[in-house]
A and B are shown apart, each in its own frame.
Chain A
Amino acid sequence: MSDAPTHDADEFEPVDVFETTEMDLRPGADDCYKCSTCDTSCPVAEVDDEFPGPKFQGPEQWRLKRKEGHGIDDSITSCSNCMRCDDACPSSVPLSQMHNTARGEYVEDQRFGREALSALADGSPREALSIVREGQDGLVERLRNRILANYHTSAWLASYAPGVANFVMNFGPARWAMEKTMGVTSEREFPEFADHTFREWWTARGGARVENPDKRIAYFHGCYSNFNTPEVGKAMVRVYENFGYEILVPPQKCSGTPMFANGMLGDARRHAETNVKNLAAAIENGADVVASCTSCSMALGQEYPELFDLDGIEDVAAHTYEGVEYLRLHEDLEDALDEASVEGSEFAYHAPCHARNQGLDTQAVELFSDLDGVDIEDVGDSCSGISGTYGWKEEKYDYSMEIGAEMFEHMEGADGETGMTECPTCAMQMEHGTGYEIRHPLELLDEALVDRSQ
C-alpha cells in the first residue's frame, strides 16, 4: 500500500477548478427561535468582539441571504469550526453545517481572479492588473489558508526529508518571512515530522499480523498520526491486535477537517471521494472504520453526509467510530483495565471540542480513573483555542491563546505534568501553552494492556 501519493501537481494552484457544490443555507434556519444559547457557547465570540457569533452566521445569515444582493458576510472566516454551537442549540439547528456551507460559498465568491476577471470583462485591464498586483482578492490570505488546509500535502512533501523540513519549518528567518508574507504566525513551533510515517512502519512490519474475518477494522489514521505521531497509530495497532482484530489500512487522504474550516469544500470533496470509496470497500469486506483523531471521526461521521452526496457516504458515517469508543463498545475494556496497571502516571486531560460533539468527552477520564497507577483529571470544558488551522493564522493567534488560557490554567492547577487528549491540534496547543508532554489515550491503553516483551 502506498503512502497515498495521489497528489496532483497543481494542488497548490490557487486558481483551481472548483466543483461547485450546491450551497443551501436553508436547512433548519426556520427552527431557530433566537434563544442565543449558541452565542453564549461560542469560544470565538467570547474573545473576539468583532465576531457576531453562530446565530448570525447560521440562521440569520440565511434569512438575509434570501433577500437579493446579500453575499456571505466575511465574518464567517472567523468561525473556527469548533462545532460547540451545534451541541448547544436546544432546537437542533444544524449550525455547523450552515457555517460550513456558508464558508464554502464565501470562499467560492472570493475566488482569486474573480474580481480581476470581471474588471477585464468590464474593459479595464489596468484595474485588473492592479487587483492582481495588490492582491486585493485576498490572494495571499487564500493561498495561506489553502496551504494550512492542505496540511497533508506539506506533510507529505516534508516526510521525504523530515530532518530538513523540521529545520526549515522552525528556522527563525524563514518563519519571520512566513508571517510577514503569508500571515502564518511565527509564535508556534511547527509540529515535528517523525523520521518515518505510520504507513512506512506498517509496510515494513508486513501489514496485519492478525487475520480474523469476524473482527475486522479499517484504520483511518489521518494525516497527523501518519506524518507526525506514528506512535499513536502504532499503539492503536498493537491494542487492537491484542484484542484479536484484523486491521486494514486502506489508502486514504486527508479527512477534510482543515478544508471545511477554511471553506475549501471543493478540495474536501475530492479527498472525501477517495476516503469514502476505500472505506466503503472495507466495510463491504466486513470491517468497521476506526479513527484515532476525533476530528477525523467527526468528519467521516457527521460532516461528510451533511455536505456531500456520495455513494456509500451514509454507510461510512454509520460505521465510523473513535478508537477507544469502539473497544469500549465491543470489548470488556473496563474489565481488562481492572486487571491491568501502569507505572505511576498523572494526566491532565482535555476533551477536544470534536470529542464533546460526539459524546466522547467523558470517556477517557471515566475509563482511566479506575486503572491502577493512573491519576487522571479533567481540566474543564473550555475550548483549547487552536481549532486546527485557526490558531495558526497570524491575525487569530492572540485570540487563540486567549481562548486557551482557561485550559492552560487548569492544566497547571492539575496534579499531572503530562497532558492527554485525542486531538492532535489540541495537543499542539496544550504543549505550546504549558510545555507539557501530551499523550493519546490509545498510548496509555497500549502501555496498560499490551505485553510488549513478547
Chain B
Amino acid sequence: MAIEDDVCVIGGGLAGMTAALRAAREGARVRLLSHKKSTLRHASGLIDILGYADGELVAEPFDALASLPESHPYRRVGSDAVRAGLSLFDDVTGDAYRGSHTDANALVATHGGTVKPTARYPTRVAPGLASQSRRTLLVGFDSLTAFDAPLAADHLAAAGVPGTTRGVTVAFPGDFRADSRVTRFARALDDDEPVETASGPTPVRRALARAVEPHLGDVERVGFPAILGEEESQEVRKALESSLGVDVFEVPMGPPSLLGLGLEALFQEALDSAGVRRTTGNPVVDFDADGERVRSVSTDRNGRQVPFHADEFVLATGGLVGKGIDSNRERVVEPIFDCHVPHPDDRYEWFTDEAFGDHPFARFGVNVDDDLRPLDADGKVEYDNLRAVGGVLGGADFAAEKSGSGISLATGHAAGRAAGAAANQR
C-alpha cells in the first residue's frame, strides 16, 4: 500500500540532492521530497568549504578543519568525508566547474566588489580570479541595477586586489524592457537574437562587443555580470572573447542566479540518471514512528496528507532560510520531527547586541552523533533511521565561515552513503 522507498530524503537543496545521489549510488531506491525548488537558484553558485575561521581569511581550508570546535559538522564527519563530497560534486559538474586542481581557496570577485575565498567556481567565472594580477574592466548595464560595475571596481581596488580594475556602465544593446529579467538577456544571447542598433539590425553578441569596445583601453580581461547565456554560455563567452580579443569572465550575481540555476540543472540531471524519484511542491509536515524508527513522513496540501514510507530518512531542510529551523517567541524548533535544537532559554541570549556580532542564533540547528543522527536533550539518538545534513545542522555559522556548500556536500555524502548502506542491509 501507498508509496514506499528504501531511502527518503526531505529537502531539495544541495545537501538533500547530494544525499539522494549518494544513496542511489549505493543501490538504494531513493525518493527526494522537496517543498520548493532547490534554493541553489538563489545562491551564487560558488562552492565554499571554509573561507574564514575566527574571522581570518583561510588559504588552505583542509588544514584549518582540525582547528574547528568539536561540535562543528566538519568535525563530525571528518575531512575524508569533505573530500568525498567534493569529489562527488566534481563528478556531477565536470567541465562546468574549476578548482579541483588544488586544495587552496581561490579568490573570486563578487558583484558587490568583495573578494570571496571559495573552493569550486564555475568555468564561466574562472578567467576572472582576483588572485591573478591582470588589468581588468568590469562592465555593467544601466538596466541591471544589481551590478554597479564602477562601484564594484572601486571596492575591489580598495580591497587591494593585484592588477588594476576599472568599471564602466553601458546600455545593453537592443530594445529590452527597462526592468528586463536576467533570463531575458541570457536567452537573447543564447539565440544570438538580432537587435536594432544605430547601424541596423545586428546579432546581439556582436552588438554587445561593439558597445564595450570603446572602453577597452589596454585591459587584459573583461568581466560581465553572470547573464551571458543560459544554455549556450560557453559559446556566448567565446564569441565575446574573439570579438574583443581579451579574456571574458562573469561575476556571480545574487538571486535569481543563472549560475545557481545551472548548478541545479546539473544536479537534477545526475539525480534523474541515478533513478532518484523526485516529488516537489508540498511541504513535509508530519511523520509516523514506531518506537525508535521513523516509518513514514507526510506532505500536506490544503489539509490533504500524503504519506511516504521508507526504511531510512535524511533530513535536509536547511537552516533558518530554508525553513528547516524555525523559531517562535519561546523556543527554536525543528518543525517536522521536533528534534531537539539546543538554545538558551532566554531569548535575549539568542543574539548579541552588535548587528554583525557572533550571534548564537547563526549556529542554531540540530545536534548529531558521528553517524549524523539527531540527538535529544539528553544526548540520546532521536530515531535510529533518521540522519540530518546541511543547513539544519547546528554548530556552524555558514554565513560567517563561508562554509555552507561544503558542509552540505560533506554531510550529504556521509549520510547518503550510510542511509543507502543501512537500507541495503534490511
Contact A36–B1 (Cβ < 8 Å) = no
Q: How far is the CA of A175 from the CA of B166 in the complex (A)?
A: 61
Contact A39–B302 (Cβ < 8 Å) = no
Contact B256–A36 (Cβ < 8 Å) = yes
Contact A37–B304 (Cβ < 8 Å) = no
User: CB < 8 Å: which of A46, A52, A317, A325 contacts B179?
Assistant: A52
Quick check: is A70 within 8 A (CB to CB) of the other chain?
Answer: no
Contact B176–A49 (Cβ < 8 Å) = yes
Q: How far is the CA of A89 from the CA of B41 in the complex (A)?
A: 11
Quick check: is A361 within 8 A (CB to CB) of the other chain?
Answer: yes
* A362 cross-chain contacts in B, Cβ below 8 A: 277-279
Encode B132-150 as 1/0 by CB contact (under 8 A) with A: 0000000000000000000
* A360 cross-chain contacts in B, Cβ below 8 A: 281
Q: How far is the CA of A325 from the CA of B36 in the complex (A)?
A: 20
Quick check: is B282 within 8 A (CB to CB) of the other chain?
Answer: yes
| B-facing residues in A345-402 (Cβ within 8 Å) | 356-362, 366
Q: How far is the CA of A49 from the CA of B178 in the complex (A)?
A: 10
| B-facing residues in A43-63 (Cβ within 8 Å) | 45-46, 49, 52-53
* A330 cross-chain contacts in B, Cβ below 8 A: 1-2
Contact A317–B281 (Cβ < 8 Å) = no
Contact B302–A318 (Cβ < 8 Å) = yes
Quick check: is A309 within 8 A (CB to CB) of the other chain?
Answer: no
- A56, chain B: closest CB distance, angstroms: 8
Q: How far is the CA of A309 from the CA of B254 in the complex (A)?
A: 40
- B133, chain A: closest CB distance, angstroms: 35
Given the contacts A87-B281, A317-B304, A359 and B299 also touching, CB distance less than 8 Å: yes
User: CB < 8 Å: which of B279, B299, B301 contacts A302?
Assistant: B301
Contact B42–A329 (Cβ < 8 Å) = no
Closest to B186 in A: A40
- A157, chain B: closest CB distance, angstroms: 34
* B280 cross-chain contacts in A, Cβ below 8 A: 87, 356, 359, 361
- A98, chain B: closest CB distance, angstroms: 17
Q: How far is the CA of A319 from the CA of B277 in the complex (A)?
A: 25
Q: How far is the CA of A362 from the CA of B279 in the complex (A)?
A: 7
- B274, chain A: closest CB distance, angstroms: 14
Encode A309-333 as 1/0 by CB contact (under 8 A) with B: 0000010011111000100111110
Quick check: is A441 within 8 A (CB to CB) of the other chain?
Answer: no
Contact A40–B183 (Cβ < 8 Å) = yes
Closest to B260 in A: A37
| A-facing residues in B168-226 (Cβ within 8 Å) | 176-177, 179-184, 187
User: CB < 8 Å: which of B2, B36, B37, B256 contacts A39?
Assistant: B256
Encode B1-42 as 1/0 by CB contact (under 8 A) with A: 111000000000000000000000000000000001101011
- B265, chain A: closest CB distance, angstroms: 10
Quick check: is B65 within 8 A (CB to CB) of the other chain?
Answer: no
Quick check: is A32 within 8 A (CB to CB) of the other chain?
Answer: no
Quick check: is A301 within 8 A (CB to CB) of the other chain?
Answer: yes
| B-facing residues in A198-254 (Cβ within 8 Å) | none
Q: How far is the CA of A90 from the CA of B180 in the complex (A)?
A: 21
Quick check: is A191 within 8 A (CB to CB) of the other chain?
Answer: no
Given the contacts A35-B255, A46-B187, A328 and B3 also touching, CB distance less than 8 Å: yes
- A218, chain B: closest CB distance, angstroms: 15
Contact B182–A40 (Cβ < 8 Å) = yes
- A206, chain B: closest CB distance, angstroms: 31
* B55 cross-chain contacts in A, Cβ below 8 A: none
Contact A40–B304 (Cβ < 8 Å) = no
Q: How far is the CA of A393 from the CA of B346 in the complex (A)?
A: 60
User: CB < 8 Å: which of A88, A301, A356, A361 contacts B304?
Assistant: A301
Quick check: is B336 within 8 A (CB to CB) of the other chain?
Answer: no
Quick check: is A305 within 8 A (CB to CB) of the other chain?
Answer: yes
Q: How far is the CA of A362 from the CA of B278 in the complex (A)?
A: 7
Contact A301–B302 (Cβ < 8 Å) = yes
Please report the total number of A residues contacting B with Cβ < 8 Å.
38
Q: How far is the CA of A360 from the CA of B39 in the complex (A)?
A: 20
Quick check: is B303 within 8 A (CB to CB) of the other chain?
Answer: yes
- A272, chain B: closest CB distance, angstroms: 15
* B112 cross-chain contacts in A, Cβ below 8 A: none
- B40, chain A: closest CB distance, angstroms: 11
- A288, chain B: closest CB distance, angstroms: 9
Q: How far is the CA of A37 from the CA of B43 in the complex (A)?
A: 11
User: CB < 8 Å: which of B177, B181, B306 contacts A36?
Assistant: B181
User: CB < 8 Å: which of A39, A305, A320 contacts B181?
Assistant: A39
User: CB < 8 Å: which of B42, B177, B184, B281 contacts A37?
Assistant: B42
* A361 cross-chain contacts in B, Cβ below 8 A: 280-281
Given the contacts A35-B255, A302-B301, A314-B303, A366 and B277 also touching, CB distance less than 8 Å: yes
* A46 cross-chain contacts in B, Cβ below 8 A: 183-184, 187
Q: How far is the CA of A224 from the CA of B304 in the complex (A)?
A: 25
Q: How far is the CA of A305 from the CA of B303 in the complex (A)?
A: 11
Contact B37–A358 (Cβ < 8 Å) = no
Q: How far is the CA of A361 from the CA of B183 in the complex (A)?
A: 24
Contact B256–A35 (Cβ < 8 Å) = yes
* B187 cross-chain contacts in A, Cβ below 8 A: 46
Q: How far is the CA of A329 from the CA of B3 in the complex (A)?
A: 6
Most chain B CB neighbours (cut-off 10 Å) among A40, A52, A360: A40
Contact A319–B304 (Cβ < 8 Å) = yes
User: CB < 8 Å: which of B179, B183, B304 contacts A321?
Assistant: B304
Given the contacts A35-B255, A318-B302, A319-B304, A331 and B181 also touching, CB distance less than 8 Å: no
- B189, chain A: closest CB distance, angstroms: 14
Closest to A89 in B: B36
Given the contacts A40-B182, A314-B303, A362-B277, A90 and B256 also touching, CB distance less than 8 Å: no
Q: How far is the CA of A361 from the CA of B261 in the complex (A)?
A: 20
Contact A302–B181 (Cβ < 8 Å) = no
Given the contacts A35-B42, A37-B256, A46-B184, A305 and B302 also touching, CB distance less than 8 Å: yes
Encode B252-278 as 1/0 by CB contact (under 8 A) with A: 001110000100000000000000011
Contact B181–A45 (Cβ < 8 Å) = yes
Q: How far is the CA of A251 from the CA of B59 in the complex (A)?
A: 71
Quick check: is B342 within 8 A (CB to CB) of the other chain?
Answer: no
User: CB < 8 Å: which of B36, B181, B278, B279 contacts A40?
Assistant: B181
| A-facing residues in B40-72 (Cβ within 8 Å) | 41-42
Closest to B258 in A: A40
Quick check: is B335 within 8 A (CB to CB) of the other chain?
Answer: no
Quick check: is B307 within 8 A (CB to CB) of the other chain?
Answer: yes
* A87 cross-chain contacts in B, Cβ below 8 A: 36-37, 280-281
Q: How far is the CA of A90 from the CA of B39 in the complex (A)?
A: 8
* B41 cross-chain contacts in A, Cβ below 8 A: 37, 40
Q: How far is the CA of A359 from the CA of B35 in the complex (A)?
A: 9
Closest to A302 in B: B302
Most chain B CB neighbours (cut-off 10 Å) among A37, A49, A356: A37
Q: How far is the CA of A220 from the CA of B338 in the complex (A)?
A: 38
User: CB < 8 Å: which of B37, B176, B179, B182 contacts A88?
Assistant: B37
Closest to A356 in B: B281
Q: How far is the CA of A37 from the CA of B255 in the complex (A)?
A: 7
Encode B285-316 as 1/0 by CB contact (under 8 A) with A: 00000000000000101111011000000000
* A331 cross-chain contacts in B, Cβ below 8 A: 1
* A366 cross-chain contacts in B, Cβ below 8 A: 277
A residues adjacent to B (C-beta < 8 A): 35-37, 39-40, 45-46, 49, 52-53, 87-90, 92, 301-302, 305, 314, 317-321, 325, 328-332, 356-362, 366
User: Can you identify 16 A-B contacts, CB atoms within 8 angstroms?
Assistant: A36-B255, A40-B182, A40-B183, A46-B183, A49-B180, A49-B184, A88-B36, A90-B37, A90-B39, A301-B304, A318-B302, A329-B3, A329-B307, A358-B301, A359-B306, A362-B278
Q: Nearest 4 CB-CB pairs, A to B?
A: A359-B281, A318-B303, A35-B255, A317-B302
Taking A314-B302, A317-B303 as given, write out 12 further A-B residue pairs in contact, using a Cβ cutoff of 8 Å, ordered by the A residue number. A35-B254, A35-B255, A39-B256, A46-B183, A302-B302, A320-B304, A329-B2, A329-B3, A357-B281, A358-B281, A359-B299, A362-B279
